[in-house]
Amino acid sequence: MEIENKVFVITGAAQGLGKTFAQDLAARNARLALVDVNKEALEQVVDTCSKSDIEARSYQVNVADESEVEALFNQVSKDFGTVDVLINNAGITRDGLIARIKDGEIRKMSLANWQAVIDVNLTGSFLCGREFFVKLLEQKKSGVCINISSISRSGNQGQSNYTATKAGVAEMTVTWAKEMARHGIRVGAIAPGYINTEMVAAIREDVKQKIIEQIPTRRLGDPSEISHSVFYILENDYFTGRIIECDGGLRI
């Protein structure tokens, strides 16, 4: 797929990988519908992207809310006239061991922290993917959906909730690719390793250092290295139903 002038919906675009995708796609003359719950930070990303003389708009939406997501895709189609690509990127962490005992006291992952991550990462990806496909089917056109999974999908200490969602996102990718291929729609995913974003910066310093020591490249990834994987999926018309692992060689 050619990137220039295509309409991209990017969720979680106010920070982290989503923000980098927006800026890198703006530089390639894409048209951007940027989605996040954090309106203020999102407006700043829109301002930066608009400097590239491209059309960028902000949408304050909770991806876990069905009616908000339905309204989002209706509004984007109205504002831009069409939609071509979804980058299903919005995600949160609420890390904690499933159960632990410290100084004789039991601590466990709360149901609220389980549910919050399931709602945004898994239900949010499902709802955005579904509404994106509905729009493409209505308009009888092809398109590309890129899901952001994670190296954590294989099972990561402290991430029962996040791991469950990222494994779910990876396998939904395969399902959607099979279902949508007949309509000329491709679905791919990226499983980034530890990338230099706010999410990784939030890990306790001693734990983060331990993790970096295990990465064969001995460094965090740069967000632009994940944009590179986005471009690969967009530009390779034979790529669907598969997951690019971009993680510096780390296995967890």
209 lines the binding site for ligand CAA (CB under 6 A): no
Interface pick for ligand CAA out of 51, 178, 183, 210 (rule CB under 6 A): 210
CB of 137 closer than 8 Å to CB of 100: no
Beta bridge partners of 107: 100
**C-beta closer to ligand CAA: residue 53 or 111:** 111
Q: Which of residues 184-203 bind ligand CAA (CB under 6 A)?
A: 192, 194, 199-200, 203
- Smallest gap from residue 6 Cβ to ligand CAA (A): 26
Instruction: Tell the residue number behind the tokens 């999908």, with chain if given.
Output: 153
- Smallest gap from residue 242 Cβ to ligand CAA (A): 18
- Residue 63, classed as helix, strand or coil, is coil
**C-beta closer to ligand CAA: residue 79 or 171:** 171
- Active-site residue, 59 included: no
What is the Cα–Cα distance from 168 to 164, expressed in whole angstroms?
Answer: 6
H/E run at residue 191: strand 185-192
What is the Cα–Cα distance from 142 to 123, expressed in whole angstroms?
Answer: 24
C-alpha of 242 from chain center: 15
What is the Cα–Cα distance from 146 to 229, expressed in whole angstroms?
Answer: 10
Q: By 3-state DSSP, what share of the chain in percent is helix, strand and coil, each rounded to 5? A: 50, 20, 30
**Applying CB under 6 A, what is the total number of residues that bind ligand CAA?**
22
212 lines the binding site for ligand CAA (CB under 6 A): no
Q: Which of 59, 162, 194, 238 is catalytic?
A: 162
100 lines the binding site for ligand CAA (CB under 6 A): yes
117-156 footprint of ligand CAA as x/- string (CB under 6 A): ---------------------------------xxx---x
CB of 57 closer than 8 Å to CB of 32: yes
Characterise 170 by phi-psi region: left (phi > 0), alpha (psi -120 to 50), beta (else): alpha
- Smallest gap from residue 202 Cβ to ligand CAA (A): 7
218 lines the binding site for ligand CAA (CB under 6 A): no
| Residues involved in catalysis | 162
Could you list the residues that contact ligand CAA (CB under 6 A)?
93, 95-97, 100, 150-152, 156-159, 162, 192, 194, 199-200, 203-204, 207, 210-211
